[in-house]
Amino acid sequence: MESFLQQLINGISLGSIYALVALGYTMVYGVLRLINFAHGDVYMLGAYFGYYLSRLVQGRTPSHLLDAAVVMILSMIGCALIGVIMERFAYRPVRRASRLTLLIIAIGVSLLIENASQLIFGANPRFFPQLIPETHIHMGNLMLTNQQVIVLVTALALMILLNLFIYRSRTGKAMRAVSYNLDAAKLMGIDTDRIISLTFALGSALAAAGGILVSINIPGIDPLMGVMTGLKAFVAAVLGGIGNIFGAVLGGLILGLAEVMVAGYGSSTYRDAIAFLILIAILLFKPSGLLGKGQVEKV
């Protein structure tokens, strides 16, 4: 029983990271009908920004938590800028092109970021500085680390903030309008280019947060770390129903749990395979995802 609860906590913790990254996929898909394959690389950049910022910030603020918060916020801002630049120069010029063109460009952007990063940061893995010294929290026979708690609480807080923004603010409402019908949104006087830009900024910032939270738990970072996580988060978004915010969170959690359970009770050899098994199953049996509606192509 304890071991199950332990796995549950680990799974939710991993799943909340997938959820953060999956949100970016799903939001961008919502406004542009584009799978931004470079999104996983933004997550990697988030971790690297965090790595360099940590070395500047660590020890300069009164507490470890504050150190981590400053590093995370600055890195989120950095990635938001990367997201905006990516949209402006790679996707906007071809927005009227076919979806296949967009997809190929997305893969190109991804390769560009991965290879440029190997050039700039070096291809060898780096050790992410320990921003918050690890302590153990015992609850009965359960063992948690303070880092796990921080990851969970931060991921949850970010998702709640995003939800409030999308469903309560004027700009969030505009974002939902854009994702439902771009032309109709323009007719309302909404500057849709600005909203699309903002969507990339938000999604990229969440990916950066994911990258840093992962690095707090598992400190090895490398320029290709975004490939597998990006793919898995994409599976999470599809599983939940791409374009659906709650779907991305649900998909992320399911995927994280599945992975941890497979590793814990089966064999850790198959932990990466489970994501793709889920992808194949969902595409076969419910292509619109758990919370997605059957898509009617707009005419």
Partner 1 sequence: MLTLKNISTRYGAIKALTDVSLEVEKGAVATLIGANGAGKSTTLRSIMGLCQPYEGEVLFEGKKINGIPTHRIAAMGIALVPEGRAVFANLTVLENLELGGYLQRDHGKLKRDIEHVYEVFPRLKERLAQMAGTLSGGEQQMLAIGRALMAHPRLLLLDEPSLGLAPLMVHAIFEAIDRINKEGTTVLLVEQNANLALKRSQKAYVLETGRIIMQGSSAELANDPRVKEAYLGD
Which string of b and e fits 136-175 if b means at least 16 CB within 10 Å?
eeeeeeeebbbbbebbbebbeebbeebeeebeeeeebebb
**Smallest distance, Å, CB 174 to partner 1?**
6
Rounded Cα distance, 292 and 246, in Å: 10
> Contact with partner 1 (CB under 8 A): which of 141, 181, 268, 295?
181
Taking CB under 8 A as the binding criterion, the range among 74-82, 172-180, 213-221, 231-239 that sits at the site for partner 1 is 172-180
248 binds partner 1 (CB under 8 A): no
**Smallest distance, Å, CB 19 to partner 1?**
21
**Binding footprint of partner 1, residue count (CB under 8 A):** 17
Site string for partner 1, 184-223 (x = CB under 8 A): xxxxxxxxx-------------------------------
> Quick count: other Cβ atoms within 10 Å of Cβ 28?
28
Q: How many residues does the chain have?
A: 299
Rounded Cα distance, 151 and 53, in Å: 19
Give the contacts of 288 (CB within 8 A, at least 6 positions apart).
241, 294, 295
173 binds partner 1 (CB under 8 A): yes
Nearer Cβ to partner 1 (50/241): 241
62 binds partner 1 (CB under 8 A): no
Q: Is 11 left (phi over 0), alpha (psi -120 to 50) or beta?
A: alpha
**Smallest distance, Å, CB 90 to partner 1?**
21
Taking CB under 8 A as the binding criterion, the range among 7-15, 133-141, 167-175, 255-263 that sits at the site for partner 1 is 167-175
Write out the residues near partner 1 by the rule CB under 8 A.
Answer: 170, 173-174, 176-177, 180-181, 183-192
